[in-house]
Chain A
Amino acid sequence: MIGTFEKAGLSVRNLSKGFGDLQALSDVTLNVKPGEVLSVTGPSGAGKTTLCKCIAGLVSSDAGMLHLGGQDLAYLAAGERRVAFLFESYALYPHKSVFENAASPLEAPGQQPKLSTDEIAARVRKELELLAIDHLEHRLPSELSGGQKQRAALARALVQRDAGLTILDEPISHLDAKLRHRLRGEIKREMAGRASPAIWVTRDGLEALSVGDRVAILINGRIAQIATPQNVWAAPANTQVARLIGDPPMNLLDATLLKEGETAFGVLNGGVRISLPPECYARLDAATRGTNLVEGGAVILGIKPRDVELRRLKSVEEISFEVASVEPFGKHDLVSLLIGDTAFKVKTRDDHGLRVGHRAGLRIVGDVTFFERASGDRIKTLELSSGSTEGRAVPAL
């Protein structure tokens, strides 16, 4: 049965696709509402493009159901699905000019509604202007740079305002930062005003957060999480998601949980302890009741780069870490400390004066996310700084 929400939008149910031994997609389920942009991100080879091609009908799926605008897509050929598709490879017609390429879907025999030559020209020129390639309309693809080709292909996708679905596979990856920033906003706005859903595929986790009303993270052909950008960032479903999201992504440290009397610790490899305030411990205990995780549990601690303060050392006895790199971004510095094999990232605006080879201590001032080490799944996110005991690294006993 199809609910009303799927009726107007896109519904993908239990979609699977294999190529020989490679399972490209496994049991993918997602919905996209009209006017909504779902950003899809994941590492290269995760199945992002295969997902798009299955939806567009360019690749047949092995199992699953696809509905668009209430119609079962199983019975529709690619040309009948009314999907506007921007290919990562552009797929421009080499013998057609930029203008002709962009106009081509509107001139196709099956195009509904039929548009006059003037209407087509007006639509095409509007998109070419938006993308700042209106001065190139007579050029052939072979006369364009990579970024210009990408914009020509993007124009061809955007002119299809009456499409039932728009799929943009890496639409802006080859453009310079300023244009990319402007287009993120403008394309998003245009999509929000349409009566059809959109899928925006990107390898860039930051772009996925920026453009998606919701973000789907695809890893090894499976959906790892679908949530709002804020939730994906604040509460990643597992360590694989955490590795992709954030600028830079969350620090992940292997640790063992330990309790002594009323105080609990996360003990890192190498013996460094992070003390947990009693109420944090209680909440963690409650969240994991019955799993025996807290006592001697193997976890991964996730700590966001901005949730840490650097401490200058007051005495040589204090626990400290070697500074591996200092990246001066102007508005903040990104300082890496070596904790075991991990380059632990701290995003700071302080005038820290640290250089490569110096040593520094650290203090956690925000959230810590606990992941189960075996599965990588998130257990709970807790604010360490709320308690009287601060979660600073203290020397091992």
Chain B
Amino acid sequence: MSDQRTAPKERPVPPVVVGLAWLWVVIPFGYGLWALLQKIPALFG
């Protein structure tokens, strides 16, 4: 009984939250990367 009271109940984070958190940073980074990649062809043109 006491084990049940004291053991912390595991509440996994929903995968969608993890996905949204990554999107929050990947989207601006992707924008920057896209803008940068557009400049590179001129180097070899």
A binds B: no
